[in-house]
Structure 1
Amino acid sequence: DCKVWEKSLEKADLNDLDSKPKKTCHIKPDLIDVDLVRGSTFSKAKPESPWTALTRKGLVRVLLFPFFFHWWIQVTSKSISSCILVLYFMQVAAVLLYSEIPGASASEVFGPMCLMLLLGTVHCQIVSTESSRWPSGSPAASSPTRRRRWVFSLLGIAHSFSCTNKLSPLDLCMNLHLIQLSWLQACHPSKDRVSAIIWEQGECKKADMSVLEISGIILTRVKLVEQGMGYLVLGGLMTATLALLPFAFRLAQRLDMSSLSSLSLKELVKMAVGPPNVLTCTFFFITTVQRVCLTGLFFFMMCVAERTYKQRLLFAKFFSHLTSARKAKKSEIPHFRLKKVQNIKMWLSLRSFLRRRGPQRSVDVIVSTIFLLALSISFIICAQLLHSHKTFLESMTNWELMVWCSSLILFLLRLATLGSETNCKYSNSSVLLTEQINLYLKMEKKPNKKEALSIVNNVLKLATKLMKELDTPFRLLGLTVNPLIYNITKVVILSAVSAVVSDLLGFNIRLWKIKP
């Protein structure tokens, strides 16, 4: 349906820029882009390939681990890779011994195998980032250790902790990394400063501070906050439960409670393990070691994600205290009001900068893996209940799936809660509304500055609208952003749950429309 004027434009040479006179110019640093408010200015490492290609590479590199041993050394360390190689050969031995052990369950063999494939794929996703995005000459580009920490390599961090800073593995994993000054100065005019109030030994003082200096103080305050060990302990308990579950299940099946007092410890062990011989002991030793190591590593990975989300919440919490004198003094951070256009610009820059601090894509990969695993296990449990709900608890695999599903849901609820709270603190418009009220109070006290204060007030109104326009709700795996994925997941999950409840309880659940 092209018209004559469109065809003539296609034939015309409108891209002849070589003959145009040109002169050198510079981007003016006193203006802001929408990328600054959105946070895209402070770019992070991105994957080199699509996630499908990375998943395929991860599966191949785990299945053929000995052939990719040198690659694993590069992305982790020699000691860590050697430990994984031992687990790999132990897995091969367990598969060979499985047919010779009559009391063994399939989940004892294939469970660790699936975990190894999953962890290897996740690690491949994490380390496959573009190091070329670092600016030339930056110290971060020439430092393999910093680059490895930046992509948040879980297995490599375990090695790094043993030779740097004498920190615990979890604290070392969760230390947020300082972005090099030269890189930030290239992204943001860091010469801009704001007159902030600080407290030294109870005395109120003023100082001109930049975004880097204020963010550095907030980072220090975040590091000083003591992190709880509750979810790390929960991960340890879940690891021990899953490791001992096969023995407890066999013991429960063969144990007669009436004769429990007359049984010796040796007889109880025989019931839990089976006839004591070399093959049986070797098989159960291998599977137990594998389950403890791989399950423990998976739950440690979830604890790392939980710690990262908690530190993001702390960043948001301290940022929300900047414009409150009482909260800023209590938190020992600088305080400034949004009484100037320059201050608003600094506040927006600091907001975007803090939101991009620390590991982003690597933790998103971990959270996405947890979510997809929980979703898959939920589908399997629903299918098993629909197929044979009367014999559901007679299978050890179903018990394991229930333990996994319950633990994953607990972590997902925790992550969803932390993520929503963080998003609310960054998107809280009450700060800007309070500053608008303060401007009106200043107008009343200083009528001669009414025109200048009115300009600041209008900028605050625009900033409020811009934040509402750009901010998106917290999401897990993009479900709230992509309506198609959200609706498909909602319908499939609710349909499966409805079918299970209808089959077990005898009544139907009506699927109400839920807005994302």
Structure 2
Amino acid sequence: MSLNARRKFLLLQIGAYDQQVWEKSLEQTDLNGLDSKPRKTGHIKADLIDVDLVRGSTFSKAKPDSPWTALTRKGLVRVLLFPFFFQWWIQVTSKSISSCILVLYFMQVAAVVLYLEVPGACASEVFGPMCLMLLLGTVHCQIVSTESSRWPSGSPAASRTTSPSQLSWLQACHPSKDRVSAIIWEQGECKKADMSVLEISGIILTRVKLVEQGMGYLVLGGLMTATLALLPFFFHLAQHLDMSSLCSLSLKELGEMAFWQHDGQAYAFYFITTVQRVCLIGLFFFMMCVAERTYKQRLLFAKYFSHLTSARKAKKSEIPHFRLKKVQNIKMWLSLRSFLRRRGPQRSVDVIVSTIFLLALSISFIICAQLLHNHQTFLESLTNWELMVWASSLVLFLLRLATLGSETNCKYSNSSVLLTEQINLYLKMEKKPNKKEELNIVNNVLKLATKLMKELDIPFRLLGLTVNPLIYNLTRVVILSAVSAVVSDLLGFNIRKPSCYSHAIWQIN
């Protein structure tokens, strides 16, 4: 008997202990009579909506083909044994990128060997890039290990990313079927056109692409990369520098103080570790900038969507405008809302943000532990300085992502749009009493749509782990305990009760 068969047998055996008589009799009853029933051809009503459509589950994205634990294990193995998985890395990246990573891999091996030969070298200078390479490799392995990546390379792009449920919905929203009478502006003139969800979303997508993305956080990532790469040299220079004789020292003497070891092995070690730190840290911050750019694009989608029912904002944004004066318009509005929320990369960015959050959490816990161990000598360690720079940069990016995510969620969950449309319906009832019954139906549908959105929408969460109450409470207790211990040790007072602000950090509404 195989392992799975034995497992199923044990589960059935355990479950039989609390089985009642009616359950046993039900199992013995022949319920296969359905197979002999006559069947007729059926079809799904395309003019109705499902709760999955409002929630956004209709537009499913690529899912991982293995549990995250298995993907993490695969990522670690494929990084540690990089030369043996070189062809796999070429398939998921490119030949040039894989070759550069291979060079960094052998440089890491050389750095470990030189670390054993260079006296006084800091462990963080060699093990920091090693941990960063493992982290980046694991994240990339989780991103590329999706079910959609298993499709043949010759398939069309739409078929690789569109599930059967999405195809049926897209067919239901064909331009010849569901359409809304929208107002568009051409050279300042107001015109009407019947448009579908796909056409409106295409216009919004074009407007989002035309918005120039700022370079602020990319520059910030470059500054943080340079700071972390040059931090060991500044740290060694500060240790051996006499401020009284600073003006009399030449650049050559300052360089000698920064290296403090003057043999060939030491120079090779510092050159290799510096190149590694620049490449790997730069790649990590570039990854964070990609996540920030994606969150910004999500906010733009939400911004343009919120402008659809406002004539002034729609004209200013150069997008179509329509009112929720018909039940069909409300259905199109809800469909468009769910469609835009699922546009763009989802799971890959969530993996990146989760990694940033967990890394910031781990570094914060290590800093708290170091401060508790001996806060008097905390700043005398190069590793602690690096951890503080990492923590500050990660917190900046997390605050930015939390702000963008919260604003996006507020724009999609803004009930003032539906309330305004209800007021417009009452104004139309006053002007057209003969259509009062029809407008009342639309008004009731708007009320139901408002309730449904409140029921299905959840607060913006920065990390999926917050959904699990056990992990959330455990992490909150551990972090608050560590922070409380540090504050009580350094400042002399205790933090007894977690404030509501700590809960707001975890669940940002």
Normalising by structure 2, what TM-score? 0.90
Change in 2 beyond 3 A, CA 1:443/1:187: closer
Change in 2 beyond 3 A, CA 1:399/1:320: same
Give CA deviations for 1:115-136 in whole Å, capped at 9, x if unaligned: 0000000000000001279799
> In structure 2, how many angstroms separate the alpha carbons of the residues matched to 1:66 and 1:423?
44
Change in 2 beyond 3 A, CA 1:191/1:478: same
Give CA deviations for 1:45-79 in whole Å, capped at 9, x if unaligned: 11000000000000000000000000000000111
> In structure 2, how many angstroms separate the alpha carbons of the residues matched to 1:333 and 1:339?
19
> In structure 2, how many angstroms separate the alpha carbons of the residues matched to 1:446 and 1:217?
33
Change in 2 beyond 3 A, CA 1:279/1:492: same
Give CA deviations for 1:181-202 in whole Å, capped at 9, x if unaligned: 8983378898310000000011
> In structure 2, how many angstroms separate the alpha carbons of the residues matched to 1:421 and 1:480?
19
Change in 2 beyond 3 A, CA 1:220/1:513: closer
Change in 2 beyond 3 A, CA 1:93/1:137: closer
Change in 2 beyond 3 A, CA 1:190/1:105: farther
Please report how far the alpha carbon of residue 483 of structure 1 lies from its aligned counterpart in structure 2 after TM superposition.
Answer: 2.2
Report the counterpart of residue 412 of structure 1 in structure 2: 398
Contact 2:330–2:446, Cα closer than 8 Å, also in 1: yes
Give CA deviations for 1:166-216 in whole Å, capped at 9, x if unaligned: xxxxxxxxxxxxxx9898337889831000000001100000000000000
> In structure 2, how many angstroms separate the alpha carbons of the residues matched to 1:44 and 1:276?
55
Contact 1:194–1:210, Cα closer than 8 Å, also in 2: yes
Contact 1:239–1:292, Cα closer than 8 Å, also in 2: yes
Where does structure 1 differ by over 3 angstroms across 4 or more consecutive aligned residues?
1-7, 132-138, 180-184, 186-190, 511-514
Report the secondary structure of 1:192's partner residue: coil
Contact 1:41–1:187, Cα closer than 8 Å, also in 2: no
What is the number of residues matched between the two proteins?
A: 476
* CA-based RMSD: 2.3
Change in 2 beyond 3 A, CA 1:43/1:190: farther
Contact 1:59–1:121, Cα closer than 8 Å, also in 2: yes
Please report how far the alpha carbon of residue 481 of structure 1 lies from its aligned counterpart in structure 2 after TM superposition.
Answer: 2.8
Give CA deviations for 1:300-333 in whole Å, capped at 9, x if unaligned: 0000000000000000000000000011001000
> In structure 1, how many angstroms separate the alpha carbons of the residues matched to 2:506 and 2:288?
32
5+ unaligned residues in a row in structure 1: which ranges? Answer: 142-179
Change in 2 beyond 3 A, CA 1:92/1:72: same
Change in 2 beyond 3 A, CA 1:68/1:389: same
> In structure 2, how many angstroms separate the alpha carbons of the residues matched to 1:222 and 1:30?
30
Q: What percent of counterpart residues are identical?
A: 91
> In structure 1, how many angstroms separate the alpha carbons of the residues matched to 2:184 and 2:98?
49
Contact 1:103–1:274, Cα closer than 8 Å, also in 2: no
Contact 1:250–1:272, Cα closer than 8 Å, also in 2: yes
Change in 2 beyond 3 A, CA 1:190/1:81: farther
Please report how far the alpha carbon of residue 96 of structure 1 lies from its aligned counterpart in structure 2 after TM superposition.
Answer: 0.1
Contact 1:309–1:415, Cα closer than 8 Å, also in 2: yes
Report the secondary structure of 1:35's partner residue: helix
Please report how far the alpha carbon of residue 484 of structure 1 lies from its aligned counterpart in structure 2 after TM superposition.
Answer: 2.1
Please report how far the alpha carbon of residue 24 of structure 1 lies from its aligned counterpart in structure 2 after TM superposition.
Answer: 1.1
Asked if 1:48 corresponds to 2:65, the answer is yes
Please report how far the alpha carbon of residue 376 of structure 1 lies from its aligned counterpart in structure 2 after TM superposition.
Answer: 0.2
Normalising by structure 1, what TM-score? 0.89
> In structure 1, how many angstroms separate the alpha carbons of the residues matched to 2:507 and 2:290?
35
Give CA deviations for 1:226-282 in whole Å, capped at 9, x if unaligned: 111110000000000000000000000000111112222111111101232221111
Change in 2 beyond 3 A, CA 1:182/1:22: closer
Change in 2 beyond 3 A, CA 1:95/1:266: same
Please report how far the alpha carbon of residue 513 of structure 1 lies from its aligned counterpart in structure 2 after TM superposition.
Answer: 14
Report the counterpart of residue 513 of structure 1 in structure 2: 507
Give CA deviations for 1:6-28 in whole Å, capped at 9, x if unaligned: 43322212233220100111111
Contact 2:175–2:195, Cα closer than 8 Å, also in 1: no
> In structure 2, how many angstroms separate the alpha carbons of the residues matched to 1:2 and 1:90?
63
Contact 2:173–2:198, Cα closer than 8 Å, also in 1: no
> In structure 2, how many angstroms separate the alpha carbons of the residues matched to 1:474 and 1:190?
36
Contact 1:274–1:280, Cα closer than 8 Å, also in 2: no
Change in 2 beyond 3 A, CA 1:402/1:434: same
Please report how far the alpha carbon of residue 492 of structure 1 lies from its aligned counterpart in structure 2 after TM superposition.
Answer: 1.3
> In structure 1, how many angstroms separate the alpha carbons of the residues matched to 2:169 and 2:309?
27
Deviates more, 1:13-22 or 1:423-432: 13-22
> In structure 2, how many angstroms separate the alpha carbons of the residues matched to 1:251 and 1:448?
85
Deviates more, 1:182-191 or 1:471-480: 182-191
Deviates more, 1:413-422 or 1:257-266: 257-266
